[in-house]
Structure 1
Amino acid sequence: MTRRSPRGHLVGGYGLAALAVLLFLAFSLALPDTFPTRANVSSILSNQSIPALLALGATVPIATGRFDLSLGYGLGLAHVLVMYLVVDAGTPWPLACLAVVAGGGLAGVLNGIVVEFARIDSLIATLGTGSIMYAVTGRLTGGGRIVPGPQGLPSSFTALFDARFLGLPLPAFYVLAAAAVLWVVLERLPFGRYLYVTGSSPRAAAVLGIPTRRYSVAAFAASGLVTGFAGVLLAAQQEVGNPSVGLDYLLPAFVGALLGSTTVRPGRANAAGTLVAVTVLAVGLAGIGQLGADFWATPLFNGGTLLLAVGLAGYAARRRLRTRAPADAPPPPVAAGSSPRPPARP
């Protein structure tokens, strides 16, 4: 088998990061007075923090070969539930936030159980559970919005989104922290390796003794936790409970996660790649918005990028399999109580 050249490895691994830089330079030249400014960069970091978190959440199930389509519905339910607990039920906001994040993790566990133990395809299962979440959201709001009273929401709660740290929006640091944790888990811990083996070859994972169902459920639980936290941030940002807002974030989340699997570690979902992909999307959307594009340009950009991301992800995975050197393949498992067979003499 042929190995990839160092140049090809650099292009495949870091070409998307280079594209992000080129896009920023191109828009800066086209819009020198508005785009390369601190205010614009701050706005991009703030506005794209929630899509970035959801993309990181979607990355974990994708690593196991599953898809969580309930992300958008879960985001809508989480942010409405925070508003309901704080505004209507009078719950202290820290307790309400903890309850919602924990509830997101529980919803993820239920998703994993439905997928793994009921043996329902993840696309269909999470679409069904997402519809149920949407129904619960409508039940909480009665089809309307949850609006705070004259005193508004506690300033300490809205500061979760509005505050700044080191001159940058605080949500940007949430994204960096989530990406760092996810990178360590996926790339440096056995848990991440088991997720990748489960996603690439469930049969091989079973032969190696990996409890694939357990790790798949854990992946959905992690996705639910991230979604719950993103819902808390969305409530702090909008300061109103809108039952239909979550679905707008579903497509960008999957675009970021799938496009991210084509860079840094091409052929598999990874946190660093997702972060790079989200950066490309954020710069692109901000640029076309400032150029005065019509309202339909955003869904066109997201949809076209999604198709490109899926195609590139499949190509990267196939190329990774074709170019993998035999020496890189793991040795076959050895049964307990036996010794490896010595190599045959020539």
Structure 2
Amino acid sequence: MTAPPPPAPRSRPLRRGPAWHLAGAYGLLVLTALLVLVFSLMLPRTFPTRDTVDSILSNQSIPAVLALAAMVPVVTGSFDLSLGYGLGLAHVMVLHLVVDAGWPWPWACLAVIAGGGVTGLLNGVVVEFGRIDSFIATLGTGSMLYAVTGWITGGGRIVPGPQGLPTAFTDLYDATFLGLPLPAFYVLALAAVLWVMLERLPFGRCLYVIGANPRAAELVGIPVRRYTVHAFAASGLIVGFAGVLLAAQQQIGNPSVGLDYLLPAFVGALLGSTAIRPGRPNALGTLVAVAVLAVGLTGIGQLGAAFWTVPLFYGGTLLLAVGLAGYSARRLRTGADAAHDPPPAPKPAHEPGNGPPDPPP
């Protein structure tokens, strides 16, 4: 009696080596270095200078802070479209309290940051307990925030008096530390706090589980609603802080300026999920994404490109970021980059005289 042939080994996903993982994790860093090299060769007199570095670190600090704010709800699988409206209201409210109400600027800043946290908390409550999609809910609350901004300003601008704003307040943005613009250190400190919170604390790990599979998170006992509301509240606090920086930078209350930062924030947050930790939003990846955008926009500007190239650059980068983020997330879910054990060796064929053959599998 002839033994049945051994079963064919199951096909297994293609194993990716360390080089593939490094390319996925640090590809944006390499792209940043290449952009710096290309623009330095094309613009040797203007791009590789200290003024360019200071300009990037200073001008991109607020977009970087707002991108980090957008990243936190994205970790849970939600989106906060009220960020731009909240930024506009926060910076207008700071100037309103200092200029019109006569508050000391430290108290005005603290009140606005706390108000940002309350706004984020309300967003989370509407999304989770109202069971409204985050796109629709935050778009609605953002429109209400914009209405409050128009009510406070009367549709005009808030302009300080002849004495101007306190120097200590404007130094929040204009000052330097160790020879570099002070806002750059705000961004680094905020990114470090978020990295520790998301990567090293149970709270952040629970947020990642919620973003990956909310139903599974509930089954293992994670309070999904409460943690998601906390994520929105943290995002709101960061938006309030960004509003304080914007007020110190602009020194004039413009009710419509915050909307210009909405698209760059989401481009940075989504593109950042393809770097450092591909497939999951992370603080360090967001910083790398903001660096890519900053270098690209600065180089394009110094080349004398037309004004319409900026929204074209952001729109194209957003589509690329969404595509790459989705691809990285699918690979993470399917485990395509994980190591696999070798297939088991087939059993030897049955030899006559050694008892009955094994049953077929």
Residue 128 of structure 2 corresponds to 116
Q: 1:262 aligns with which of 261, 274, 279?
A: 274
Deviation of residue 230 (structure 1)?
0.3
1:17 matched to 2:29: yes
**1:29-178 map, 5 Å:** 29-178=41-190
Per-residue CA deviation, residues 46-73 of structure 1 (Å, 9 max, x unaligned), is: 0000000000011110000000000000
Counterpart code for 2:79: F
Residues 1:327 and 1:136: Cα distance change in structure 2 (over 3 Å): farther
Q: Distance in 1 between matches of 2:95 and 2:58?
A: 21
**1:247-326 map, 5 Å:** 247-322=259-334, 323=336, 325=338
Deviation of residue 2 (structure 1)?
3.7
Residues 16, 338 of structure 2: 8 Å contact kept: no
Q: Distance in 1 between matches of 2:46 and 2:23?
A: 31
1:214 matched to 2:222: no
Deviation of residue 145 (structure 1)?
0.1
Residues 21, 337 of structure 2: 8 Å contact kept: no
Per-residue CA deviation, residues 177-229 of structure 1 (Å, 9 max, x unaligned), is: 00000000000000110000000000110010000001100100011000000
Q: Distance in 2 between matches of 1:296 and 1:177?
A: 33
Deviation of residue 238 (structure 1)?
0.5
Residues 1:251 and 1:214: Cα distance change in structure 2 (over 3 Å): same
Deviation of residue 3 (structure 1)?
3.3
Residue 211 of structure 2 corresponds to 199
Residues 15, 340 of structure 2: 8 Å contact kept: no
Query: Share of identical aligned residues, percent?
Result: 76
Residue 332 of structure 1 corresponds to none
Residue 242 of structure 1 corresponds to 254
Deviation of residue 326 (structure 1)?
8.5
The root-mean-square deviation of aligned C-alpha atoms, in Å, is 1.1
Q: Distance in 1 between matches of 2:142 and 2:222?
A: 29
- Whichever structure has more helix as a proportion of its residues is 1
Gap regions ≥5 residues in structure 2: 1-12, 342-361
Q: In structure 2, the residue corresponding to 1:90 is in which secondary structure?
A: coil
Deviation of residue 5 (structure 1)?
1.2
Per-residue CA deviation, residues 281-339 of structure 1 (Å, 9 max, x unaligned), is: 000000000000001010000010000000000011111222164989xxxxxxxxxxx
Q: Distance in 1 between matches of 2:179 and 2:40?
A: 21
Q: In structure 2, the residue corresponding to 1:8 is in which secondary structure?
A: helix
Q: Distance in 1 between matches of 2:202 and 2:340?
A: 21
Per-residue CA deviation, residues 225-249 of structure 1 (Å, 9 max, x unaligned), is: 0000000000000000000000000
Q: Distance in 2 between matches of 1:40 and 1:67?
A: 33
Aligned pairs, number = 328
TM-score, scaled to structure 1 = 0.93
Residues 57, 181 of structure 2: 8 Å contact kept: yes
TM-score, scaled to structure 2 = 0.90
Counterpart code for 1:156: A
Q: Distance in 1 between matches of 2:16 and 2:235?
A: 33
Q: Distance in 2 between matches of 1:325 and 1:304?
A: 31
Residues 15, 339 of structure 2: 8 Å contact kept: no
Counterpart code for 2:288: V
Q: Distance in 1 between matches of 2:312 and 2:272?
A: 19
Q: 2:243 aligns with which of 220, 223, 231?
A: 231
Deviation of residue 260 (structure 1)?
0.3
Q: Distance in 1 between matches of 2:338 and 2:286?
A: 26
Counterpart code for 1:53: V
Structure 1 residue ranges (4+ consecutive) displaced by more than 4 angstroms after TM superposition? 324-328
Q: Distance in 2 between matches of 1:20 and 1:161?
A: 25
